Amino acid sequence: MGSTVLSLRIDGELLDRLRSHAAKRGMSVQDYVVRTLIREDFDERFKTAVDETEKFYGEADGEPVADTATDTPHGHVRPSAGIA
């Protein structure tokens, strides 16, 4: 996988906050931003996978998916249990 340059224009106050967050982790601002974007992308892909799994398993025998992990159809734990 290659890399590409992305140029951003951001507010000075935001840049200061990014520098602070990056410094706390011993990272450059660039590495911190890239890591944050990767994590956000993973979170979105994971949520999509959970949603698709719930669609697939969600209505067992016509029963809707329960609202809590302990109150599930047939006693099964939902894949998204504990995930906001």
Q: 3-state DSSP call for residue 68? A: coil
Residue appearing with tokens 């911190």: 32
Q: 3-state DSSP call for residue 47? A: helix
Which pLDDT tens digit goes with each residue over 13-56? 999 999 999 999 999 999 999 999 999 888 889 999 988 988 88
Question: Cα–Cα distance between 25 and 67 in angstroms, integer?
Answer: 37
Residue 30's closest CA among 3, 65, 57, 62?
3
Which pLDDT tens digit goes with each residue over 55-65? 888 754 455 55
| For the chain, domain boundaries | 12-75
Question: Cα–Cα distance between 49 and 45 in angstroms, integer?
Answer: 6
